[in-house]
Amino acid sequence: MIKAVLFDMDGVLVDTEWFYNRRRCAYLETKGYTFDEIPDLSGTNDVYIWEYFEPNDAERRAELKREYFATYMKEHPVPYDELKNPDARPVMEELRRRGVLCAIASSGQREMIEELVGAADLRDVLDATVSGHEVSAFKPDPAVYLRTMELLGVEPRECLVVEDSPLGIEAGLRSGARVLALKPREGVTLDQSQAHRVIDTLWDVIDEIDS
């Protein structure tokens, strides 16, 4: 019996990956970096991303990251109202009506999670939110999912994880939960072959519970 559904954020509850890719490159171009095309780093994490752009100079990498998060992100905020998944709230409402707990388990920073929760009006339909920055390791380590399960008081076999990226899918599998992969937007290619099931919309989560 499924007692909880744990949602990844970026790519699942909000279509932000393409925006993040463009915003990071726009910032780095102000620092002298050039790109023939914008690299798609969808589904990765902060550590991987900044090492990708600046692999050799750790001091330079730390300064770029610090300035990006401290200044550039605030000057170019995510348009959550435009990018949020319109199915998120009604699906969570239906899950709660059935007595199923709902949570966000994201690699994103706490500030970003809170912004999305407010913009998508999810606060009253969520039982927990956990950031990957608050646990011991990022996805594909299952730490963020295991911590969320601990907070909810549920076992892995009682959970569905809803993900989109290969790293997130691996994290969900390693946590012991059943993993659903939300098909990405057109033009985005992600290997979702390891998920138990690929779904077209968040409403398929309800079908999964009913089956």
Q: Which residues are catalytic?
A: 8
Which amino acid is residue 113, in one-letter code? I
How much of the chain is helix, strand and coil, in % rounded to 5? 45, 15, 40
101-106: strand order across its sheet: 128-131, 101-106, 4-7, 159-163, 178-182, 197-199
- For residue 160, the 8-state DSSP code is E
- For residue 184, the 8-state DSSP code is P
Strands, DSSP E only, in the chain? 4-7, 101-106, 128-131, 159-163, 178-182, 197-199
Question: Contact at 8 Å (CB) between 155 and 149?
Answer: yes
Phi, psi of 86, rounded to the nearest 5 degrees: -65, -15
- For residue 176, the 8-state DSSP code is T
Neighbouring C-beta atoms of residue 77, cutoff 10 Å:
9
Q: What angle do CA 129, 132, 134 make, to 5 degrees?
A: 80
